[in-house]
Amino acid sequence: MMPWINSFSCNWLRLCLHIFGILLLVEGNYILGLGHSNRDMAGIDGFSPQDESAIGEALDGVPGSAPEGGVGVDPASWSDYLNELFDPMFDSAVPENVTAVEGHMAHLVCRVNNLGTKTVSWIRHHDTHILTVGSFTYTSDDRFSTLHREGTNEWTLQIKQPIVRDSGLYECQVSTKPVRAYLVQLNIVVPLTVILHGPALHANEGGALNLTCVVAPSPATPEYIFWYHGGEVINYETDGRVSVRVKQENGRTISTLLVAKATLGHNGFYECEPSNAEKANITVHVVKAKPAAMQTSSSTLLQDALDPCLLLPALLFLYHLLMALPNLMT
Ligand SMILES: *[C@@H]1O[C@H](CO)[C@@H](O)[C@H](O)[C@H]1NC(C)=O
Ligand SMILES: *[C@@H]1O[C@H](CO)[C@@H](O)[C@H](O)[C@H]1NC(C)=O
Ligand SMILES: *[C@@H]1O[C@H](CO)[C@@H](O)[C@H](O)[C@H]1NC(C)=O
């Protein structure tokens, strides 16, 4: 979709060009293509810049542009004409792709400048179902409504309790002739919550305990993500041994619960509960630290080779091999 070029300076340029055009008009001149040469930029409908005669025809429709005479201009019609110069235009800076969570209020923003006496409607694109007209909800589905504050250029479609099936294109339409529309894609998603390395996690006593809860897809950071241990909410603001970090990346929310030095007291059932999704759980087993003498599993092959219990038989074997060597050679 081509966003209409819409800027303050552009409006003033158009106004100047048109006033210039009108002055020429009043003087009975016909340098009339001037004001409409930026049709594509300004989005004035009903003219074809390539077609000189069409421009002439259209301007014949403008009262006060009577080719002969040049006088007898009706000021009331002039204001109509001036109104037309300020055609409604969409602000193309508003998001065209909106992702919201199922069951949580969704908002589609539409900003229209120079609306004048025209009306803004919201239409569901796939079945051209009219949802709202101005501030009225037209559809019988009362989840839809328009938010508009008097004096602002914003007409926001609000959808309460959206479901996945509400996903699709929505049109913000302005009642110009022909109508103009700004298309917005709505995606309603259902986030899933997962605690990594579940359903059971083993941590060493005295070692770090790292619980990572991922909520995805999650278009925005949820209002809260609670962590529970044994059914009790963890208050990491008062419990100095626990810290929680939340980050938002690639449409996912990640909450990490960290315990620097795990104790047997950190054993048990943990849950992660975001405000925008179902909760997830994990069972933590803190493994009691073993006495140092029993930690044979950590020894390496080299250490094994240097073990005196193994070294002595190895040397003896080597000695016997060397002694037997001359016999083997003959
Ligand atoms: C819109 O956003 C969704 C979710 O972020 C993404 O998957 C999709 O590709 C986007 N579509 C367009 C047309 O940008
Ligand atoms: C915690 O675990 C996650 C996922 O395994 C990892 O990305 C993160 O770096 C870990 N954090 C720390 C502090 O170890
Ligand atoms: C823990 O999570 C699993 C998998 O989502 C679920 O089936 C189970 O009911 C949960 N346990 C409790 C006690 O909530």
Residue 200 C-alpha to ligand 2 middle, in angstroms? Answer: 16
Please state whether the peptide bond connecting residue 274 to the residue before it is cis, i.e. omega within 30 degrees of 0: no
Walk along the chain (330 residues) in steps of 10 and give the mean pLDDT of each run: 42 47 41 32 33 37 42 64 75 93 96 92 96 95 95 96 97 92 96 94 94 95 94 83 92 95 94 95 91 51 51 65 67
Residue 269 C-alpha to ligand 2 middle, in angstroms? Answer: 19
Identify the DSSP state of 117. Answer: T
Query: Exposed (0-12), middle (13-18) or buried (19+): which is 152, by Cβ within 10 Å?
Result: exposed
Closest Cα to residue 159, out of 151, 150, 170? 170
Question: Phi and psi (nearest 5°) for 206?
Answer: 85, -15
pLDDT given at position 24: 41
Residue with the smallest CA separation from ligand 1 atom 10 is 97
Model pTM? 0.61
Q: Are 159 and 134 in contact (CB under 8 A)?
A: no
The CATH number given to 192-287 is 2.60.40.10
Q: Domain limits of the chain?
A: 8-86, 97-189, 192-287
Residue with the smallest CA separation from ligand 2 atom 12 is 210
Cα 323 versus chain centre, distance: 80
Looking at domain 97-189, which CATH architecture does it have? Answer: Sandwich (2.60)
Sort strands 268-274 and 97-101 into parallel, antiparallel or unpaired: unpaired
Residue 123 C-alpha to ligand 1 middle, in angstroms? Answer: 20
Within 8 A by CB and 6+ apart from 260, the residues are 208, 241
pLDDT given at position 290: 75
Give, in order, the Cα–Cα distances in Å from 194 to each of 7, 246, 251, 280, 301: 46, 14, 15, 6, 39
Residue 251 C-alpha to ligand 1 middle, in angstroms? Answer: 11
- Check if 109 has its Cβ closer than 6 Å to any atom of ligand 2: no
User: Which ligand sits nearest to residue 251's alpha carbon?
Assistant: 1
pLDDT given at position 80: 64
Crossing angle of helices 8-26 and 75-85, rounded to 10°:
150
Question: Phi and psi (nearest 5°) for 255?
Answer: -115, 125
Render 244-297 in DSSP notation, one character per residue.
EEEEEETTEEEEEEEESS--GGG-EEEEEEETTS--EEEEEEEEPPPPGGG-GG
- Check if 258 has its Cβ closer than 6 Å to any atom of ligand 2: yes
- Check if 179 has its Cβ closer than 6 Å to any atom of ligand 2: no
User: Which ligand sits nearest to residue 280's alpha carbon?
Assistant: 3
Q: How far apart are CA 183 and CA 154, in angstroms?
A: 15
Burial 188-218 (b: 16+ CB within 10 A, else e): bbebebebeebeebebebeeebebbbbbebb
pLDDT given at position 139: 95
pLDDT given at position 4: 43
pLDDT given at position 330: 55
Cα 249 versus chain centre, distance: 11
Closest Cα to residue 99, out of 108, 90, 87, 89? 108
Question: Phi and psi (nearest 5°) for 254?
Answer: -125, 125
pLDDT given at position 148: 95
Q: Are 32 and 55 in contact (CB under 8 A)?
A: yes
User: Which ligand sits nearest to residue 168's alpha carbon?
Assistant: 1
**Interior CA angle at 193 toward 188 and 195, to 5°?**
160
Residue 148 C-alpha to ligand 1 middle, in angstroms? Answer: 27
Q: Position 121: which residue type? A: S
- Check if 194 has its Cβ closer than 6 Å to any atom of ligand 2: no
Residues with CB under 6 A from ligand 1: 97, 99, 185, 187, 251
Ligand 2, pocket-test mutation among 194, 211, 246, 256, most atoms within 8 A of CB: 256
Residue with the smallest CA separation from ligand 2 atom 7 is 212
Residue 256 C-alpha to ligand 2 middle, in angstroms? Answer: 8
Sign of the CA dihedral running 66, 70, 72, 76: positive
